[in-house]
Chain A
Amino acid sequence: MSTLSRPPFTVAAFLFLTMAAYAEGTIEFNRDIRPILSENCFQCHGPDKNKRKAKLRLDVREDALKPAESGEIAIVPKVISKSALIDRIVSTDEDEQMPPAESHKKLTGAQKEKLRLWIAEGADYQAPWAFIAPKRIPAPGIRGIGWARNQIDQFIAQELETRRLGHSPEAPKELLLRRVSFALTGLPPSISQMDRFSADTAPDAYEKEIDRLLATPQFGEHMAVYWLDAARYGDTHGLHLDNERSMWPYRDWVVRAFNENLPFDQFTLWQLAGDLIPNATRDQKIASGFNRCNVTSGEGGSINEELLFRYALDRTETAVNTWMGLTAGCAVCHDHKFDPITQKDFYSLFAFFNSAADPAMDGNEKFTPPVLKLPSPAQENQLREWTEKIAAARAGIKAELARIEYVDPAALDPIPPISQVEEIWLEDDFPADAKPASAATWATDRVQSGKRAIKQTGQGITQNYFEGAEKPFPAPSNGKIFAYVWLDPADPPKAIMLQWHGDGNWNWRANWGDKDAITFGQAGTPAKLQIGELPKPGEWVRLEVSVEDLKLKPGAKFDGLAFTQFGGTVYWDHSGAAYEVNPAADPERSQIAWEKRNEGHDPGEKVPKAIRDIFLANKERTAEHKQTLRDYFLSEVFAGNRERFNLLQTGVKKLEDEKKAFEAGIPATLVMADIEQKREAHIMLRGQYDKPGEKVEPAVPAIFGKLPVTGRATRLDLANWLIAPENPLASRVIVNRLWQQIFGNGLVRTAGDFGAQGETPSHPELLDWLAVELRESGWDIKHLIRLMLTSATFRQDSRMTPALLEADPENRFLARGPRFRLDAEELRDNALAVGGLLDLTLGGVPVRPYQPENIWEPLGFVGSNTREYKQDHGQALYRRSLYTFWKRNAPAPFLTTFDAPSRDSSCIRRERSDTPLQALLLMNDVQHFEAARALGQRMLLEGGTTANERISYGFRLATTRRPAESEQTVLKETFEKELEHFAANLPAAQQAVTFGESKPKPDLNPAELAAYTMVANVLLNMDETLTEN
C-alpha cells in the first residue's frame, strides 16, 4: 500500500540529485550521451543493419554527421540550429518527433539538454569504454586525507571529494573480523579467533588475519560457489529425466585452483581449452569440464541437430558472459541492437564450440562421454591386476587352441556318413527344473504322442510357457524346430505362435495365421517371423521353423518355450528339433563348411567384427586371417569343443564383468573434447537450428580485429586472446566480479553487461587500475582480493545515517562499508558453524542433507534416478553447502529460497531478495533448528555458569560482538519465560531438543536446553546474524 500513498515528487527529487551530479563536469560521451542514445535511438539507428531506419546510424560519429535518407544531417558539431537530431527531439509534431510515439520511449528535459550541450561542445564520440584496453593511470594523490591505506582508497577518496561525501570511520574490530571471515571463507570466526584478534594490538593484526584466512582451504570453497554459478555447475543433466551426472571432480578442481592461487590466465586457459593444451595434465583436462556443465537432454524423440546447436549456443553464451561480460543472446537471432556484436560475430564465436564430441542425447547416463577416469593410485593398482588376470585367462584360451589337433571331416576321404537325429524338448510335461508361467493346462483327450498334450482355450492372447530349463536345448544351426498342433474346427484361433527364450530374452517368434493378431515383436525380423497360414483344423499338423531363419549365434541354446494363440481352442504337443548330422557339411563340425556358408555375407552382429570383416572382404586370406578364423571356429563354433571353451570363456567374461563393476565405482568427470572432423558453422537465420545461412569460421568479433593465427583458430586461441594484454574485457570483467563479491555491487553494477545497455563504471579509473594490476601481478587473484580487503574503504563502518542514505542510497561511492545479506550457502554454513556442527571435510561426491519430503518426487519424471530423494545420515548432514547435491530441476530449498540460481544457465550475479519463506526456513527448518539446539547446548556447556554469561556467549558466537546491556535484558527475560514454560511442559521440551538426527548431550536438563535453544534460534534469526556488515 505504501507505494500508492507515497507522494509522487519523491522520485523527481531523486532524479534531480542524480542529474546534479552529472551536471558538474562537461559532457562525456560514454558517461552522459551513450546511455541516452542506446536506450532511445539505437533500436532503429544503431548497429543492427537490418533494423536501421532512414539510413541513419547514430552509434558511429562519421555516419551520424552524414546526410540521412531525407538529406537532413542529424548532427552538425557545434551548430545546434543545423542539427536535425535536436529539431526532432524537441518537435511536438507526431510525424517529426523522435523517439516516435509508438516506441513508448520519451526523453526527459534533462536528457534533451545534455544532447544539446554535447552537440554544442562538438559532439565528440568515444569508443564504447569497455572495448578500449584498460590503461593504468597513477592513483590520484589526495592531499589532506589521512585515512587512505592503498591505491584503491585514493581513487575512492577522489570521487568522494568530488561528490562532497565523507569517509566512515573504521568498523569495530570484532565486526571487521566477522566481515573479512565471510568475505574470504563464507564462514564466521571462532571464539578463539575472535579472542586472538582482539588481543593482537600489532598494527598489522588485520593483515595477518587476512593472510591466515587466505591460506585456509575454506577460501577456495567460498570462491568456488560464485565461480560455479558462472560455470552453471550442477549434479544432474537438467532436462527431462534430469538424471545424475558426474561432474564433481571439476567442482573440486575449482576449489583447489582457488586455494593454490592458480593464476587467472591459466585458470581461463584450462577451463576453456584444457583439452587442447599439448600434453594436457589431468587437472587441465578436468578443468575443460567447464564446457560440459551445460544442461543436456536425453529425451527420446529430440532432434540431434537441434540439441547440438543448443549445446554450442549455451557454451558460447557462457564463455562470453563469464569472460567478456557481454550479453550475446541477442546476436543469436539478429545483429546486436546496442553493441557492435553482429550476428556473424556471434556465430564466429559459436564456431569455436560447435565441434564438441559429446553426443546430442546424453543417454541419461552418469558418465556421458567423453569422460576422464580418475582412479586413485590404489585403484590403479587394482585395475592393473584385473587387466593382468584377464590377459592370463585369454592366454589360457590361446594355449588350449594351440593344443587342439583338428581334422576337418570335409577333408577326409571318404567323408563320414550322414545320420538323422530328432531331439525332444517337450513331451507330457515341462522340464522339472524350469520355471513355468503358471500351471499348464494339460489334457489327455487328444494327444499326438505320449500321454498328454497342452490344451488352450481363450479370448485374445492366450499362452503357456516356461523358461529357465536347467539343461538348455541346443538349436542346431542346420536343423528345424518343430511342434505339433491340433486346431479345433469348431473354435479355431486367429493365429498361433511358437516362441523361444534364450540369452535372457524372448526375442524369437514364429507366427501362423493373422499376422497382426498377436502384437509382439517387430514383423519381418526373427522377433516375428510370419511362417504361413493357419494349419488345417481337425488334424495333428507338424509346425516347422528353420533354425537358420532365427539368425542365432552358432551354438545358441534355448531354455524356454512358449505356445501362444489368439482365441480359439488348440492342442499343443511333442516339440523339439530335427536335424541331420553330416559332419562334412555341418558348419558346427567342419570349418570348411562353416566358411563356405558365411563366405561373402555378414554372419550377424553376434559374431565379432574381425570375423565379419574377413567374410565380407571376400579377398585372398593372409596367414593371420586364417589363424583368426581357425581360432574362432574351434573356440566358438565347433560342436566338439563347446563345453571346454564355454568354461574358459565364462571365466574371462566373469573377470571382465568384475573389472567393469570395479571401474564403475572409480570417479570420473565429464571433459571437453572436439571431434576430429570439425563441424561447419553457419549464421543461423533467426537463431533457428535448421536455417543455416552464410558459413563462418571461428573468429573473435570483428571490432577486436583478427586472431594472430594461421589456419583454423581453436578454443585455445580464443582463450589466449581473452588473457592477452590488449584484451579490454576479461581482466576488467573478473576484477569487477571480485569487487561485486566483496563490496556487494560491482564497479560496473551490471556485471553481466559491459556493453552500451549496461551501466558505466562508478570509478572507471579504479576499474582499469585494478584490471592492469591483476594482469601485471601475474593474474594473482589472492593479491587482488587482499588489496581490496586491506583498503580503508573496505574497513569502514557500514552504518547508515540519513544523510548518507540520501546522498548515496546504494553505496556506489563507498562512503561507508559493505553491508548485505549472506548468500544461501553462507546462511546454512553459518548456522552449522555457530552451532559447532559443521564438518569441514573437503571435496568428494555430492551429499544429500536434510530436505523436506516431496521436493524431488512430484517433479521427478518416472524412470529418473533423481526422482526419489534418499537423504544421507551422520556427518554428511553437516558438510558445507557447496557439496549439496545440485538437482537442476529441483535444487535444495535452502538454496533457491535464498536466491541461488537454478544453474540452468550461467549466472554471474545473484539477487538478494527478502521473503517470508526465508523467515519460515530459518525459524523452522530442521537443519536450522537443530543448529539452534546445538548452539543452545554450546551456550550451556561452554558459555559460563549464569544465564547472562551464556546468553552473551551465544550472542558473541552469532555476531562476534557482546550484547549491549539492554539487548541482554530482553533476551534474558524471554529466556526465563521460556524456561518456565518448558519446565511445566517437559514433553514439549523433549521434542524441541531432539529435532534433527544429532543427539543432545544426555545429561542436560531438557527444559533448560530447550529454553537456550529458543534463545539460540532468535540469535540465529537476527538481521545482524544474517548480514555481512
Chain B
Amino acid sequence: MTPRSYLEQVTRRHFFRECGVGVGKIALASLLTDSFSPFSARAAVIDPLAPKQPHFPPKAKRVIHLFMAGAPSQLDLFDYKPELAKLQGKPLPPSVIGGQRYAFIRPDAAVLGPQFKFNKHGQSGAELSEMLPNLARIADDICLIKSCNTDQFNHAPAQIFFNTGFQQPGRPSIGSWALYGLGAETQELPAFVVMSTGAGISGGSACWSSGFLPTLYTGVRFRNQGDPILDVSSPAGIDQKLQRDSLDLVGEMNRRRMASDGDPEIATRISQYEMAFKLQTSAPELMDFKSESKETLELYGCDPDKPSFARACLLARRMIERGVRFVNIYHEGWDAHSDVSGNLKKNCGETDRASAALVQDLKQRGLLDDTLVIWGGEFGRTPMVETNPVLGRSMGRDHHPQAFTMWMAGGGLKGGVSYGATDDLGFHVVDNPVHVHDVQATILHLLGFDHEKLTFQSQGRDFRLTDVHGKVIKALLA
C-alpha cells in the first residue's frame, strides 16, 4: 500500500468508523489546510464516492451481475449427466445423499434424467443444453464453473448469502463493497444500479443493501415503469428551466448559510443538489434508446417500449458506457419445483438471447476486457425428481446446495474454460469445488482487491464480504 493510499484509508476509517457523522465532516481534513473560506468549501468537500485506488490494478472496472433468482437447473442446462437418464425412475443410493435434507422432497425420490439434449460448442467444446442456443454461440468467451456450492438451501437466505456473504439481512452487498473500495466513475448516474425482471425477489432489498456501510453505497433501483429513478422527474408543470431556477436559489440560500454558519455539511448538500439536477437530465438520456441501431435491438431481442430482461441487459450496457460501476439484474422465476422442462423453456426463452447478446455487444465495443459479466442463481437443483400430488407438483427438481453451475465472462477471466466437476449423478462436487465465498473472493480480486483486506469496522469488528473464508480461483484468471 502506498503511503498516500494508506493515509486516505486512515481518513476514511476515521470518518466511516462511525458513520453517524455527516458526510461533510470528512471535508474537515482538507479544510484544515486551507485558510478557512466558506465559498471555497465546495471544492474542498471530500466525496465518499470519489474514485479510489484498490489494492492492485483491477482487471475488471465494472460488473454486470445477471442474478437468476429461484435457481436454474444446472443438470438440464450446463452439467450433462447421461448417467441420470440411465437411472431415471430409481432412487439414488443413500450413500450419495448422506444426511442432506431437502425442502420438499424425500431423499429417496427417484432420479430424473436430463430434460434436454446437450451438444459441444466452440473450440473449447463447452457442453451446453439445446435450451441455450445463443450462449452456445459465445461458448469460447465464457468461463463455466460447474462446481459451485453454497451453505444455504432456501431462497431468501441463499440469495442474501450470495450477495452479502451472510445468510441474514444486514451485511453489505458485493456492489456496495465495490463502491466503497473503488468509488464512482460517474457523477451523472448512480454508480450501483439494481434492476429486476420476472417475479418478486425472495431475498428482497437485503440483496443490494449497503448493510453497515454508509447508505450512499446502497444499490439504487431502476424501475421498469414510471421514473427509472425515484422522483427523477420534476413535478407536473415544472419545466427544466424552472427547476434550474429553484436549484440555483436553493444553492444561493445554502451558500449564504455556509458563510454564516460554517458547517462543511452544507457544502456537501450543495453539491448533492447539483448532482440531483444532473441525474434529472442524464436519466432520460440513458433511457432513450433512439441511438441504438436496429441490429443492436435485434441482437438483444429488445423492444425498447416493453420492460423485459432484454431491455434491462441493453440498459446495463448503456449504463456501463456511462460509467456505472455495478449493475445487478435479477431475473426471478427459475424455481422449478414442478415441470422443470417447461420452466426452462420459458426462462431460457426470456434470458438466453439477451445474456449472450450482452457479452457479444460488450466485446464488439471493446468493453468486455474490463467488464465482468456474471450469470447464475443462488443454488442448484436436485438430480432427483420432485413430485408432490398434494402441492400439485410433478416432474420438478428441488433445491440443491451441493452443486450448481455459473458462468462468467470478461473482466480478466479466461474464455472458453470449463472449471470444476461433479460426480456422475451431478450430486456432489468432485473436482475443484468453488464455494460462494470463493466466487466472491474472485470477483473482488478482479476488481483489484485482496478480499481479506477490504474490510470495514462495525460494532467493534472488522467485517469483510467473505467473512473468514474464500479463496481466489486462480485457474480462471487470464
Q: Taking beta carbons and an 8 Å cutoff, which residues of A are in contact with B?
A: 1-4, 6-15, 104, 238-240, 242, 295, 297, 299-303, 310, 327, 329-330, 337-339, 519-523, 527-528, 740, 744-745, 749-750, 752-753, 755-759, 798-802, 805-806, 809-810, 819-821, 852-854, 857-862, 864, 867, 888-890, 893, 896-897, 899, 902, 904-905, 909-921, 923-926, 929, 966-967, 970-971, 974, 977-978, 981, 987-995, 1010, 1014, 1017-1018, 1021-1024, 1026-1027, 1029
- Asked whether, in the complex, the Cβ of B273 is within 8 Å of the Cβ of A798, the reply is no
- Name the 10 nearest CB pairs between A and B, nearest first: A301-B103, A757-B460, A991-B237, A992-B237, A802-B36, A889-B204, A919-B276, A800-B262, A916-B275, A916-B276
Q: Decide yes or no: A327 and B234 within 8 Å by CB, A519-B394, A902-B209 being known contacts.
A: no
In the complex the two chains form, what is the Cα distance from A859 to B47 in whole Å? 31
With known contacts A858-B223, A1018-B250, A925–B50 Cβ distance under 8 A: no
In the complex formed, the residue of A with least CB distance to B215 is: A913
**Chain A residues in 8 Å Cβ range of B261:** 798-800, 819, 1029
Partner of A861, one of B7, B8, B199: B199
Is B103 touching A10 in the complex (CB atoms < 8 A)?
no
Report the Cα distance A378→B390, complex, angstroms: 43
Which chain A residues lie closer than 8 Å to B134 at the CB level? Answer: none
Q: Which residues of A contact B343 (CB under 8 A)?
A: none
With A862-B200, A923-B243, A974-B249 already in contact, the answer to whether A301 and B104 are too (CB < 8 A) is yes
With an 8 A cutoff between CB atoms, is B362 at the interface? no
Interface residues of B in 268-322 (CB under 8 A from A): 268-270, 272-273, 275-276, 278-280
Query: Does B97 lie at the interface of the complex (its beta carbon under 8 Å from any beta carbon of A)?
Result: no
The answer to whether B389 touches A520 (Cβ under 8 A) is: yes
Shortest beta-carbon distance from A240 to chain B in Å = 5
Neighbouring A residues of B62 by C-beta, 8 Å: none
Assess whether B237 is in contact with A995, with CB atoms less than 8 Å apart. yes
Q: Are the C-beta atoms of A905 and B169 separated by less than 8 Å?
A: yes
A919-B18 contact, Cβ under 8 Å, with A11-B10, A11-B11, A925-B231? no
Please, which residues of chain A bring their CB within 8 A of the CB of B196?
A: 858-859
Given contacts A310-B168, A758-B460, A1014-B246, contact A917 B235 (CB under 8 A): no
Contact A914 B276 (CB under 8 A): no
**Cα(A378)–Cα(B427), bound, Å:** 62
Chain B residue nearest to A977 in the complex (CB): B245
B155-183 contact mask (Cβ, 8 Å, vs A): 1 or 0: 11000000000001110000000000000
- Give complex CA distance A442, B226 in Å: 54
The answer to whether A914 and B389 have CB atoms under 8 Å apart is no
Q: Which residue of B lies closest to A1022 (CB)?
A: B253
Per a CB cutoff under 8 Å, which of A9, A893, A994, A1023 touches B257?
A1023
Q: How many Å lie between the Cα of A295 and that of B170 in the bound state?
A: 12
Q: How far is the CA of A176 from the CA of B31 in the complex (A)?
A: 28
Contacts of A915 in B (CB 8 A): 215-216, 272
0/1 interface trace, chain B 426-454, chain A, CB 8 Å (1 if under): 00000000000000000000000000010
Partner among B52, B223, B227, B460 whose Cβ is within 8 Å of the Cβ of A3: B52
Q: Which residues of B contact A753 (CB under 8 A)?
A: 459-460
- Choose one: A6, A853, A858, A914; the contact of B30 (CB below 8 Å): A6
Residue ranges of B at the interface with A (Cβ–Cβ < 8 Å):
3-4, 7-8, 10-11, 14, 18-25, 28-33, 36, 43-47, 50-52, 101-104, 153-156, 168-170, 190, 196, 199-202, 204-206, 209, 214-216, 218, 220-221, 223-227, 229-239, 242-243, 245-247, 249-250, 252-254, 256-258, 260-266, 268-270, 272-273, 275-276, 278-280, 389-390, 394, 399, 453, 457, 459-461
Is there contact, CB below 8 Å, between B225 and A910? no
Which A-chain residue is minimally distant from B279 (CB atoms)?
A: A916
Contacts of B22 in A (CB 8 A): 820-821, 912-914
**Which residues of B have CB within 8 Å of A861?**
199-202
Known contacts A2-B43, A11-B29, A810-B25; A919 and B156 CB within 8 A of each other: no
Given A749-B20, A755-B460, 14 additional A-B pairs, CB 8 A: A2-B43, A8-B3, A522-B390, A756-B460, A802-B31, A809-B25, A810-B25, A858-B201, A905-B169, A913-B23, A914-B24, A920-B279, A924-B234, A1029-B263
Q: How far is the CB of B365 from chain A (nearest CB, A)?
A: 27
* A859 engages B204 (CB within 8 Å): yes
Q: A919: which of B21, B47, B266, B273 is its contact (CB, 8 Å)?
A: B273
Expressed in whole angstroms, the minimum distance between the Cβ of A641 and any Cβ of chain B is 36
Q: B224 — which chain A residues lie within 8 A by C-beta?
A: 854, 858
Chain B residue with Cβ nearest A860: B200
Given A2-B43, A2-B47: A912 touches B262 (CB 8 Å cut-off): no
In the complex, chain A residues whose CB is within 8 Å of the CB of B234: 923-924
What residues of A have a CB within 8 angstroms of the CB of B43 in the complex? Answer: 2
Cβ contact of A338, chosen from B51, B156, B390, B460, cutoff 8 A: B460
* Bound complex: CA A3 to CA B205 (Å): 30
Chain A nearest CB from B39 CB (Å) reads: 13
CA distance A920 to B11 in the complex (A): 29
Task: List chain A residues, Cβ under 8 A from B254.
Answer: 1022-1023
Complex Cα distance, B168 from A800, in Å, reads: 42
Q: For residue B3, which residues in chain A have a CB less than 8 angstroms away from its CB?
A: 8
Most buried by B among A896, A902, A917: A917
Query: Distance (Å) between the CB of B114 and the closest chain A CB?
Result: 21
Tell me the minimal C-beta distance from B242 to chain A in angstroms.
Answer: 7
Q: Report yes or no: A920 in contact with B231, Cβ–Cβ below 8 A.
A: yes
Knowing A239-B156, A297-B156, say if A912 contacts B389 (CB, 8 Å).
no
CA distance A913 to B258 in the complex (A): 18
B35 CB, min distance to chain A CBs, angstroms: 8
Selected A-B contacts with CB under 8 Å, 15 pairs:
A6-B46, A8-B7, A13-B32, A301-B102, A528-B389, A753-B460, A802-B31, A861-B199, A890-B204, A905-B169, A911-B215, A916-B272, A916-B278, A1022-B254, A1029-B261
From A9, A338, A857, A911, name the one whose CB has the most chain B CB atoms within 10 angstroms.
A911
Q: Shortest Cβ distance from B56 into chain A, in angstroms?
A: 15
Shortest distance in angstroms between B148's beta carbon and chain A's nearest beta carbon?
20
Of A7, A329, A330, A920, which contacts B232 at CB under 8 A? A920
B contact residues around A905 at 8 Å (CB): 168-170
Q: Is the CB of A3 within 8 A of B47?
A: yes
Choose among B14, B230, B263, B389 the residue that contacts A852 (Cβ–Cβ < 8 A): B230
User: Whole-angstrom distance between the alpha carbons of A805 and B102 in the complex?
Assistant: 59
Bound form: Cα–Cα A810–B22 in Å: 9
Complex alpha-carbon distance, A303 and B102, angstroms: 9
> A830: shortest Cβ distance to chain B, in Å?
16
Q: How far is the CB of B195 from chain A (nearest CB, A)?
A: 9
A692–B51 Cα distance when bound, in Å, is 47
CB-CB under 8 A from B202, the residues of chain A are 240, 299, 861
- Residues of A with C-beta under 8 A to B44: 2
- Chain A residues with CB under 8 Å of B156's CB are 239-240, 297, 299
Using A2-B50, A756-B460, A1014-B246 as known contacts, say yes or no to A819 and B263 having CB atoms under 8 A apart. yes
Assuming the contacts A3-B46, A920-B230, A970-B252, asked whether A302 and B246 have C-beta atoms less than 8 A apart, the reply is no
Query: Closest approach, in angstroms, between the C-beta of A455 and any C-beta of chain B?
Result: 29
| Docked complex Cα distance between A300 and B36 (Å) | 61
Residue of A7, A519, A914 with highest tally of chain B CB at under 10 A: A914
B-side contacts of A301, CB under 8 Å: 102-104, 153-154, 399
CB-CB < 8 A to A755: which residues of B? Answer: 460
User: In the complex the two chains form, is B236's CB within 8 Å of A991's CB?
Assistant: yes
Chain B residues contacting A899 (CB-CB under 8 Å) are 215
**Residues of chain B with a CB closer than 8 A to A744's CB:** 20
Partner of A242, one of B102, B204, B252: B204
B226 contacts A801, C-beta separation under 8 Å? no
Q: Are B200 and A2 in contact (CB-based, < 8 A)?
A: no
Question: In the bound complex, what is the Cα–Cα distance between A1014 and B204 (angstroms)?
Answer: 37
Q: Whole-angstrom distance between the alpha carbons of A916 and B247 in the complex?
A: 12
Closest A residue to B26 by CB, please name it. A3
* A917 and B155 within 8 A (CB): no
Bound-complex Cα distance A11 to B3 (A): 12
Q: Which one of A759, A810, A857, A995 lies within 8 Å of B235 (CB-CB)?
A: A995
Cα-based distance from A970 to B250 in the complex (angstroms): 11
